[in-house]
Chain A
Amino acid sequence: MTTTPYTSPIPVRRAHLGDAIASEWTKMRSLRSTLWTLGVMVVLVLGLGVLLAYAIGEASASPDAYEGGSVLTLGLLGMLLATVCVITLGVLTITSEFGTGMIRTTLTACPSRGRVLTAKAIVFFALVFVTTTLVSAFTAAAQCAVLGTTGGASAGQWIRVTVGVGLFMAFLGLLSLAVGALLRHSAGSITTMIGLVLLPYVLAIGLYTRELNDLRTALVEYSIPALLGTLYTGGPVGGMPMPSGWQPLWIIMGVTAVALAGAYTALDRRDA
């Protein structure tokens, strides 16, 4: 029996964020749920977008009806439903580790908890951003092809419904990931996020008195579906002094940053 400490023949090198990102990418791609969730999202956005374009094309013969780039707004319906996929994937990225206890194995392999969360956030954000941007661009192009017009949409509008929507969805997913890290429970986190999306509308229904008109309008206009819609339409529906242009993106970025800061603190302080 020897007491000289054991030294491994495998070369030792310090692990860094790049290793953690590679690891998170392996985790992400090795699960079928990732493929299913993103697959459903692509089918929803593309399928609904093209169907809608056909339906409208049948109803109205004149391509002039889509002047001012309004043809691009046809992608909104599919993207609204796709939020559910992005929320689910964002939450599951972290809660599946808490649910199975895998998080302890992960944190034993990498005691730097911040690095683990950063790697998860980067991999997930990149994946959702690329997927959503591509599928939005493809959908918009398909819709233009079906209707036989681009409706004179400007370059700015094109960028907003592709890159803008891609960023918005990626931040929404990141917000879900942060909520998942805070609540550590899949069903609870998904319910919370769906609630966040729908609650403003539910509340607005209750606030029917005239005195609360402004509050009701604000609730609806700042809700996640309305913010997403603003990216498509470019301005608030009905001409209210509410978010317009790229503003929805700054709003969701701010909310996500706060939630993510909470997630970092909680993950670092809590017992795993």
Chain B
Amino acid sequence: MIEAVRLTKRYGAKTAVDDLSFQVRPGVVTGFLGPNGSGKSTTMRMILGLDRPTSGRVTIGGHPFRELPNAPRQVGALLDARAVHGGRTARSHLLALAQLAGIPARRVDEVLGVVGLQDVARRRSKGFSLGMGQRLGIAAALLGDPQVLLFDEPVNGLDPEGILWVRNLMKALAAEGRTVFVSSHLMSEMALTADHLVVIGRGRLLADMSVREFIATNSAGFARVRTPAGEPEQREKLVAALTGAGGFVLSEPDGALRVTGLPLPRVSDLAHDAGVRLWELSPHQASLEEAYMRMTQTAVDYRSTDDRLAELGPVPEQPPVVPDVPLEGWYAPPPPAPVPVPAPAAPPVPAGAAAAPAASGGPADADRAGGGGPQQSRTHESSTEDAR
């Protein structure tokens, strides 16, 4: 059990961790999420007594780390996989740590086997790949067979097989009743590994809840509505009706509408009343990645500037919309074969590259591919829920 109470760390004028309180319980994998520079590593270092908090405190099993009896047998940590002396062999590195903690030397060979480094145990770690370095770091964390484990970005540099291995290892460690605290900046990874989430941004706590709760709270559902292509007046009529009824309407790249704030039957009724035919009316859930991005977008320190090519054509008086979400198995009727130039009302297809397919008068498919391209690339990882 790790408990942080009003933990704060300032470096001069910069506040790295700001009034952070949370608990990490045994028996589950707790994910520690935040964008780069949000204070994850600083928090981890404070948990381990390496950095002194400016104010507040953090305890493990009721004691500050530096006052724990037998600390290395209670807490194991991977902070930075590169934090080894490259001139030492993997085995010597682990042996020195084992001796320091009063752990029998045979345990070194055990953990080398656990992480799969037994064949390179006598090679100097200078020649290790990033993935091998991560494995060595994980071996060091497991050395004391501790109750509490901290991993800072453990999957960095690992290949898919290694990622799967780490994921299963974390779960297995937690299932044995240990406290497992794993930091990451990848929501998709945490959604698969963690049971509980602590999300921070700019050093502040944004969320502390189970993954299930996080999904329920943060992934707002929406309805996708598609009006007949080539009849922009229908689309305008529907937007007016939906907005009038209190709905919030966003335009998707391919001309479909994303409606929030109205239940599906109500959308159908409104369309019927307005005399608008619908080609599609389907329920959707925003992905976890999207929810995470939305939550942390105000807390990102390093952000690239907008690429203007990626801009979407907004429906009038609506802010530009966000990512295209995969259909998730819902049947989207293919557009009928001979379609004239689609050009929906207030064309969502902006100038630039995306305009080309539309101008060429291609079928709606081509339009979709052109307009949706940049968007899809932004959210190609968003299908985490499917995987779950």
Contact = CB atoms under 8 A, between A and B. Distances in A.
Given A6-B147, A6-B176, A108-B75, A100 B51 contact: no
Given A6-B176, A26-B92, A271-B45, A106 B84 contact: no
Nearest to B177: A6
B50 A105 contact: no
Interface stretch (B65-73, B182-190, B265-273, B298-306): B65-73
Contacts of A96: 85
Contact of A10 (B51, B65, B107): B107
A244 B262 CA distance: 95
A60 interface: no
Interface stretch (B94-102, B202-210, B317-325): B94-102
A59 interface: no
B215 interface: no
A93 to B, nearest CB: 11
Given A100-B85, A102-B83, A110 B50 contact: no
B87 interface: yes
A5 B147 contact: yes
A33 interface: yes
B139 to A, nearest CB: 11
Given A6-B147, A14-B102, A102 B84 contact: yes
Interface string A17-46: 001101110110011110000000000000
B69 A14 contact: yes
A125 to B, nearest CB: 18
Contacts of B72: 15, 108-110
Contact of B27 (A3, A102, A105, A271): A3
A108 B145 CA distance: 14
A22 B70 contact: no
A97 to B, nearest CB: 7
B100 A2 contact: no
A261 interface: no
Contacts of A195: none
Contact of B96 (A3, A10, A30, A111): A30
A30 B177 contact: no
A172 to B, nearest CB: 24
A32 B82 CA distance: 19
B188 to A, nearest CB: 23
A100 B133 CA distance: 13
B100 A110 contact: yes
Interface in B331-360: none
Size bin of chain B's contact surface: 35 or more
B2 interface: no
A12 B83 contact: no
A27 B77 CA distance: 20
Contacts of B84: 100, 102, 105
Given A15-B72, A271-B52, A30 B88 contact: yes
Contacts of B174: 1
Most interface-central of A4, A8, A22 (chain B CB within 10 A): A8
B100 A104 contact: no
B86 interface: yes
Contacts of A23: 96-97, 99-100
A21 B116 CA distance: 29
Contacts of A24: 96
B371 interface: no
B226 interface: no
A111 B97 contact: no
A101 B97 contact: no
A30 B97 contact: no
Contact of B70 (A2, A12, A116, A272): A12
A109 B68 CA distance: 12
Given A31-B85, A108-B50, A8 B146 contact: yes
A16 interface: yes
B103 A10 contact: yes
Nearest to A96: B85
A97 B85 contact: yes
Contacts of B51: 271-272
4 A-B pairs with the lowest CB-CB distances in the bound complex, closest first:
A101-B83, A15-B102, A30-B92, A23-B100
Given A6-B176, A15-B72, 8 more contacts: A3-B177, A5-B26, A5-B178, A12-B73, A15-B70, A27-B92, A96-B85, A105-B140
9 contacts: A19-B101, A24-B96, A26-B92, A30-B93, A31-B88, A32-B87, A104-B80, A108-B72, A111-B49
Interface of A: 1-16, 19-20, 22-24, 26-27, 30-33, 96-97, 100-102, 104-112, 116, 271-272
